């Protein structure tokens, strides 16, 4: 059996109907996990769940949609309770949903948007982790993966509130890993760099994404499958001794010099 096999596991993925979250949902389902697809759009959740079952289910239903709005703290506990009933529990939680309310100079960020960005991305995800925790513990342990961002590891003044929140998720993974270790719940963070998704293509354009590729030591912009691979690793037996860690999946951009400035030795 593969060390990455997730047969018999139930994964809950927020923000799972597009982009990185969709890639993660497919990656987990491809390894045998049943997947609860969560986002604000109920129709998109159901459509994505049907696609996952059709592609990975072998004729069976292996995914189900469930509406969730990360920006609504009051919805967190009812959502977690509903999620644990879908397939009888949760073994893997991937906190991928995020909110980014403003792009621009940090000094011009309205106080209410700064606070809302931190609250939704950090506090509400924290509450979701705590709400799912009893189900994981009752099943003998599990894995929580928080999706951070490369913006949380580099100077990102034009998305400062978002970047600070994502940096906070990396530290939250460390703290929760320590707290939940006695329950055999592993908590890690994956921080993607620039990833080619419909959202980034709309913002930067395909040509803009292509122009960024040479800035990355590996010579390309990331794909959702790159992030999915890291999540599968941290969720599976292959990552059984990993907790409290942050994996930066950005083609080396944040840790290595760009090709144009790197020493050729």
What separation, in Å, do the N-terminal and C-terminal C-alpha atoms of the chain show?
A: 43
In sequence order, the 6+-apart residues with CB closer than 8 A to the CB of 156 are 162, 163
Has 162 been annotated as catalytic? yes
DSSP state of 75: G
Q: How many CA atoms lie within 13 A of 92 on its CB side?
A: 31
Q: Measured between alpha carbons, how far is 219 from 210 in angstroms, rounded to an integer?
A: 10
In the block, residue with structure tokens 């951009």:
253
**DSSP secondary structure string, 140-175?**
T-EEEEEE--GGGSS--GGGHHHHHHHHHHHHHHHH
**Residue tagged active-site, from 162, 167, 169, 190:** 162
Catalytic positions are 162
């Amino acid at each position: 059996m593969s060390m990455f096999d997730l047969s018999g596991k139930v994964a809950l993925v927020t923000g799972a109907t597009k982009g990185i979250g969709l890639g993660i949902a497919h990656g987990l389902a491809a390894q045998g996990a049943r997947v609860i697809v969560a986002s604000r759009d109920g129709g998109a959740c159901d459509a994505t769940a049907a696609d996952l079952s059709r592609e990975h289910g072998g004729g069976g239903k292996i995914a189900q949609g469930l509406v969730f709005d990360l920006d609504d703290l009051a919805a967190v506990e009812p959502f977690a309770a509903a999620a644990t009933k879908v397939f009888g529990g949760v073994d893997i939680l991937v906190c991928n949903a995020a909110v980014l309310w403003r792009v621009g100079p940090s000094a011009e960020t309205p106080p209410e948007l700064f606070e809302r960005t931190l609250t939704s991305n950090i506090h509400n995800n924290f509450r979701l982790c705590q709400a799912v925790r009893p189900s994981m513990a009752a099943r003998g342990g599990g894995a929580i993966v928080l999706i951070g961002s490369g913006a949380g590891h580099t100077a990102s003044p034009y998305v400062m509130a978002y970047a600070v929140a994502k940096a906070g998720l990396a530290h939250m993974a460390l703290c929760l890993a320590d707290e939940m270790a006695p329950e055999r719940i592993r908590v890690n963070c994956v921080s993607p760099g620039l990833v080619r998704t419909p959202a980034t293509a709309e913002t930067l354009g395909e040509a803009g994404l292509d122009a960024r590729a040479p800035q990355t030591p590996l010579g390309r912009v990331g794909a959702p499958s790159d992030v999915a691979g890291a999540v599968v690793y941290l969720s599976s037996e292959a990552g059984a001794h990993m907790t409290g860690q942050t994996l930066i999946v950005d083609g080396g951009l944040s840790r290595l010099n760009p090709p144009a400035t790197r020493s050729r030795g």
